[in-house]
């Protein structure tokens, strides 16, 4: 079985795959300083509840946008599962795509993993819209290459900044407003955030397609993707498992590449 780990700025997702089937998935806050032993004890308890043993894990793969977390995630895979991980971004990990930007080393691992998954799932040129700590728009050409994108503040980050910077504005949860014009502070804030982001999504996807010069499908993923997909018809596909499927696909490609041939066995 494969243990896939997606470490983001807000949450870290652990998923166990048995071939093509996802057996389990768990989330933990991406707290700074969390050790391999802490994660190992927590994860082993959750696996036991699902009838799994550490020895069931034969392979591991990691994508992380938190550099300080990679050491302990590597150690977790070695110490608790005896399965040295593939780490997206390492030179020996083949993603099967070209990174067509000025500084390829600066592209987040999650964005590349999403690119891989989106290309094998959906035909043609794509915009991958990820609602995470940041809201990102990633451009994928018809050959599956990463062509760049747009980074905007995440929805919850914007709400928190609004609350912190303005003394009279409360902390509110993101939600679809009943009307555009708010008749009180909280409805006005919800309208500004929610419909403001809908307008940003519609405007940026239109500008990206105009600049790219060909029709593109828009794939949405991330925690708030479903909330915004219902508000606009520019999003064609909602895919909350995109990153995890990308990790599974990258592992599959590299496992096939590293498998011994009859001549070498």
What is the DSSP-derived secondary structure letter of residue 99? B
Read off φ and ψ for residue 104, nearest 5 degrees. -60, -30
* Predicted pLDDT at 189: 86
pLDDT exceeds cutoff 70 at 260 = no
Q: Is 59 a known ligand-binding residue? A: no
pTM attached to this predicted model: 0.89
What is the DSSP-derived secondary structure letter of residue 167? T
Q: Of the ranges 41-45, 80-84, 162-166, 243-247, which one carries the lowest mean pLDDT score? A: 162-166
* Predicted pLDDT at 257: 64
* Predicted pLDDT at 258: 59
* Residue 65, burial from CB neighbour count under 10 angstroms (0-12, 13-18, 19+): buried
Q: Is 24 a known ligand-binding residue? A: no
* Predicted pLDDT at 259: 52
pLDDT in tens, 14-69: 999 999 999 999 999 887 788 999 999 999 999 999 999 999 999 999 999 999 99
Catalytic residues: 110
- Domains of the chain from N-terminus onward: 2-87 (3.30.420.40), 104-248 (3.30.420.40)
Q: Is 243 a known ligand-binding residue? A: no
Query: What's the rounded mean pLDDT across residues 231-240?
Result: 95
Sign of the CA dihedral running 98, 100, 106, 110: negative
Q: Is 221 a known ligand-binding residue? A: no
SS3 (DSSP) at 16: strand
C-alpha to C-alpha distance for 263 and 59, rounded to whole angstroms: 24
pLDDT in tens, 203-233: 999 999 999 999 999 999 998 999 999 999 9
C-alpha neighbours within 13 Å on the C-beta side of residue 259: 9
Angle between the N-to-C axes of helices 67-81 and 36-49, in degrees from 0 to 180, rounded to the nearest 10: 50
The model's confidence at residue 255, banded by pLDDT at 50, 70 and 90, is: confident
The model's confidence at residue 120, banded by pLDDT at 50, 70 and 90, is: very high
Q: Is 83 a known ligand-binding residue? A: no
Percent of the chain, pLDDT > 70? 96
The model's confidence at residue 186, banded by pLDDT at 50, 70 and 90, is: confident
* Predicted pLDDT at 264: 40
């Amino acid at each position: 079985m494969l243990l896939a780990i997606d470490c983001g700025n807000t949450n870290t997702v652990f998923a166990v795959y048995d071939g093509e089937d996802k057996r389990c998935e768990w989330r933990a806050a991406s707290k700074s300083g969390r050790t391999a032993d802490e994660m190992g004890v927590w994860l082993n308890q959750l696996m036991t509840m699902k009838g799994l043993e550490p020895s069931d894990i034969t392979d591991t793969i990691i994508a992380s946008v938190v550099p300080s977390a990679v050491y302990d995630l590597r150690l977790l895979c070695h110490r608790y599962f005896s399965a040295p991980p593939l780490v997206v971004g390492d030179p020996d990990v083949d993603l099967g795509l070209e990174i067509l930007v000025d500084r390829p080393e600066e592209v987040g691992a999650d964005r590349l993993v999403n690119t891989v998954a989106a290309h094998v799932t959906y035909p043609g040129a794509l915009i991958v819209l990820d609602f995470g700590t940041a809201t990102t728009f990633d451009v994928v050409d018809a050959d599956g290459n990463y062509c760049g994108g747009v980074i905007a503040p995440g929805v919850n980050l914007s709400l928190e900044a609004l609350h912190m910077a303005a003394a009279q504005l409360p902390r509110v949860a993101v939600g679809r407003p009943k009307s555009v014009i708010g008749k009180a502070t909280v409805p006005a804030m919800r309208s500004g955030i929610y419909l403001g982001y809908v307008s940003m999504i519609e405007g940026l996807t239109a500008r990206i397609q105009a600049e790219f010069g060909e029709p593109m499908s828009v794939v949405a993923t991330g925690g708030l993707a479903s909330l915004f997909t219902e508000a606009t018809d520019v999003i064609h596909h909602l895919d909350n498992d995109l990153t995890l499927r990308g990790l599974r696909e990258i592992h599959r490609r590299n496992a096939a590449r590293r498998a011994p041939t009859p001549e070498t066995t």
